[in-house]
Amino acid sequence: MAAMTKFHAAALLPAVLCLSLAACSQTASDESTAGSAASSAAVAASTKSTPTAAALASEAEDIDLAGADWRTQGNVDDMGMITRDGTDTMVCICVNDDSVEFYYDEPEQIFYDMAFYPAPVVNARQNYNGAYFDDLNGDGDSDLCLFFLNDDGSDLLLTWYWNAEDGYVFDAEASNPIDISGSFDPGTAVQTDYFDEYGLEINASMDTGTYLLEDGVGSFIPSNEDYALGSAWWEVTKRSDYTHDGFREIEFDAICYIPDEAIPSYYEEEYYGSFTSVVSGELYDRYTGMWLTAASTHMDTGRSDNHYVHTIEWNGESYEIEYFYSTEWPEVGDWNQVLIMSYIVYLPEGYDGLVFAAQSMPGSYEECQDRLNLESICPEADLFNCDTVDARSNLYFAID
């Protein structure tokens, strides 16, 4: 979606509101703001062969990072959540040509586990296309599926079952077959729902009233100091929903309510009409986690001003999603500001993965500025690769 901003004259209203994805503004005099999106973390996995898990763990413990966060140094290809003995552990995934390594999601590089391929995978890091930790055999512990997209467009699937005694045990029958030369034949990968894989929940419902989003508003004054966070309320209401000619057409409103207490009182007293408040909302696909990117808008806009088309690729199928939306900033009751985003979305019949995310704001002015410019940095990135976006602090509404 696009970021939207309303500018207010000092004599009439005290603040400038922006919604990233839905609306974003910088100052009362600014006329352009980039949309909110996600930035894919630049990652590159270690290609060092490791003969045993124990040796790798020992080596990792000896690395002196001098206080640096190893995850920012180009060593991580992906993130995932592994469940063992009822405990969920977030891990960093590092892909090699002969193995895949997992480390705790911590600033210090701490080894968690690894799995060896039955044969080397050429260009494994470049062709890596996802790791999934579903419980495949029903024992309550995560197993492992690795997917690679070959240069010829075919898929490669590798599957391991995990147990406490043997660790990861490769299963050829659940993987693509291996020929005598040790190279892999193409196969068809079966993907897992992104939200399920990363433990994200649909924690808000349409047409059930407002939901509180902590840290839902970020505000700052013209000098760019004293950045402050406050809470906002969100609701999503459906206006119409019908199917025709193989398409589903949905109209809905996403509404953000900003109370007076979300804005520091001295902002109103000392910077009346000249400070900025930012809220952030986005459309995502729940199956891939992809952000349906849109540019920023300002003030009231019409649907003809905001028209976007994205294509979702999932489980071998393509789904084209087309949407329009308008923005309106009405005065509503005692609320400090209210934004209404009115959508009309066209989906393929049978597609049910559209999600509206009301997103918490980052903790600093610098990160807030990054949030306002993500549309040009990382269009169509997935949630956990969205810079400044805390995927576990958002409200998620299923548009169903």
Question: Cβ of 185: how many Cβ atoms within 10 Å?
Answer: 10
Q: Is residue 182 part of a domain?
A: no
Residue 1 — pLDDT band, cuts 50, 70, 90?
Answer: very low
Domain residue limits at 291 = 4-39+198-398
pLDDT at res. 14: 29
**How far is residue 339's CA from residue 189's CA, in Å, rounded to a whole number?**
42
The residues pairing with 130 across neighbouring beta strands, listed in sequence order, are 147
For 279-301, what is the mean pLDDT?
87
pLDDT at res. 272: 67
Q: Is residue 148 part of a domain?
A: no
For 145-163, what is the mean pLDDT?
86
Q: Is residue 110 part of a domain?
A: no
Whether this model's pTM surpasses 0.85: no
- Which H or E run contains 270? helix 265-270
| pLDDT of 103 higher than 60 | yes
For the ranges 78-87, 206-215, 258-267, the lowest mean pLDDT is seen at 258-267
pLDDT at res. 38: 30
> What b-and-e string marks burial along 151-178, b requiring 16 or more CB atoms within 10 Å of the CB?
eeeebbbbbbbbeeeeebebbeeebbeb
Q: Is residue 106 part of a domain?
A: no
pLDDT at res. 297: 64
User: How many structural domains is the chain composed of?
Assistant: 1
Give the long-range contacts of residues 126-133, CB within 8 A, separation 24 or more. Answer: 127/151, 127/156, 128/77, 128/78, 128/95, 129/155, 129/189, 130/78, 130/189, 130/191, 131/78, 131/80, 131/93, 131/100, 132/80, 132/191, 132/192, 132/197, 133/80, 133/81, 133/82, 133/83, 133/197
pLDDT at res. 181: 39
More confident residue, 13 or 302: 302
The CB-side HSE value for 33 (13 A sphere, CA atoms) comes to: 38
Q: Is residue 111 part of a domain?
A: no
pLDDT at res. 27: 33
**How far is residue 43's CA from residue 37's CA, in Å, rounded to a whole number?**
18
Q: Is residue 336 part of a domain?
A: yes
pLDDT at res. 273: 64
| Phi, psi for residue 21 in degrees, rounded to 5 | 80, -60
| Distance in Å from the first CA to the final CA of the chain | 18
**How far is residue 13's CA from residue 376's CA, in Å, rounded to a whole number?**
30
206 in Cβ contact with 398 (< 8 Å): yes
Q: Is residue 66 part of a domain?
A: no
Q: Residue 146's Cα: distance from chain center in Å?
A: 20
DSSP reduced 3-state for 353: coil
Residue 24 — pLDDT band, cuts 50, 70, 90?
Answer: very low
| pLDDT of 104 higher than 80 | yes
For 53-75, what is the mean pLDDT?
61
The string of pLDDT tens digits covering residues 211-264 is 999 999 998 887 777 899 999 999 999 999 999 999 999 999 999 999 999 988
Q: Is residue 293 part of a domain?
A: yes
Q: What whole-number percentage of the chain has pLDDT above 90?
A: 48
